[in-house]
């Protein structure tokens, strides 16, 4: 119960769970971080094959679209996860 009142924790409503959730500062930053979109051009492989390998890296808010015409991946997520995708 002491953790509930520290400056590093916040209580927020979670609409998906329909409950109040206690988040630590790091979790809060990830949950509220703005999303960014980047286009990753793929060489020497098929973008469609890489898509399934990148998907587990993304957060719940992230998404990936494969463009077979340009052999690229359009990835949207928080900046921290976009770095991991590269």
- pTM across the whole model: 0.69
Res. 26: pLDDT tops 90: no
Span 53-65, pLDDT tens digits = 999 999 888 999 9
Span 28-73, pLDDT tens digits = 667 778 999 999 999 999 999 999 999 999 988 899 999 999 999 9
Tokens 């960014």 label which residue? 36
CATH 3.30.1370.120 fits 34-86, yes or no: yes
- Whole-number Å distance between alpha carbons of 75 and 86: 10
Mean pLDDT, all residues of the chain:
82
Domain positions in the chain: 1-32, 34-86
């Amino acid at each position: 119960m002491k953790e509930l009142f520290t400056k590093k924790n916040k209580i927020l409503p979670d609409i998906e769970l329909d409950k109040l959730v206690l988040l630590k500062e790091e979790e809060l930053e990830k949950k509220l971080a703005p999303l960014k979109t980047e286009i990753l051009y793929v060489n020497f492989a098929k973008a469609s094959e890489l898509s399934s390998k990148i998907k587990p890296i993304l957060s719940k808010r992230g998404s990936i679209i494969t463009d077979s015409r340009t052999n690229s991946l359009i990835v949207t997520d928080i900046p921290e996860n976009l770095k991991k995708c590269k």
